[in-house]
Amino acid sequence: MRKNLGVIPAVFPMPVLMIGTYDENGVVDVMNAAWGQICEMDRVMVCLSPEHKTTDNIRKIKAFTVGIADLPHMKEADFFGIATGNRMSDKFERTGFTAEKSTFVNAPVIAEFPVTMECELLEQVSTEFLTDVFVGKIVNVTAREEVLDDKGEIDASKLQALIYDPFRKDYYVTGQRVGRAWSEGKPLMRQK
């Protein structure tokens, strides 16, 4: 038996993404955004409310970074979702984090987050629902060495990436590998 719950804006898991921008004066801003996803091989999209400082920065600077929040930095990642750069001028400084200018785009790479996509703005769509959708072209991905395997590739089991539960408003962490994509279902391909 199933129970109707009405409209819930939720998919699980949702990523905990750290959107990094500079304002027109080069001041770092970072916000926590769960509404984002890969939408092409070299594209990422994030949905942001128009009133965010980050939204304004992306419109003006035309670049942003997308970092993956992790368990060791959960407190700061959550803070980036609570505080607003529109009312707190020292928001980034309060965390004690380090911003490094991207080599590829005019946006900050937050050193503490394990993986970061460096993006240039390709498209912005303002929806009728008062959300701005930004599509960025991923021009580079940078990763901390401790999350790489012996081949130099990102090892998801080392990330301790945070995921957001929109049903109960909790964080969870990734790490357990349970199968191989594009392999587990192959036996069903051979059935008649």
| CATH topology classification for 14-189 | Pnp Oxidase; Chain A (2.30.110)
- Split at pLDDT 50, 70, 90, the class of 114 is very high
Mean pLDDT over 93-122 rounds to 98
CB 185: neighbour CB atoms within 10 A? 9
- Residue range 35-57: average pLDDT? 94
3-state secondary structure 89-141: CCHHHHHCCCEEECCCCCCEEECCCCEEEEEEEEEEEECCCCCEEEEEEEEEE
Give residue limits of the domains in the chain.
14-189
Cα torsion 24, 30, 36, 39 to 10°: value is 50
Asked if 167 and 12 count as a contact pair (C-beta separation under 8 A), the reply is: yes
What tokens does 161 get? Answer: 């990436």
Single-letter amino acid, residue 41: M
Cis before residue 114, ω within 30 degrees of 0? no
pLDDT at 129 over 80: no
**Sheet of strand 36-40, all strands in order from the earlier edge strand to the far edge:** 28-33, 17-22, 63-68, 115-126, 132-143, 43-48, 36-40
Residue 158 is predicted with a pLDDT of: 95
The CA distances from residue 156 to 3, 16, 88, 146, 178, in Å, are 34, 14, 34, 11, 12
| Residue 189, pLDDT score | 87
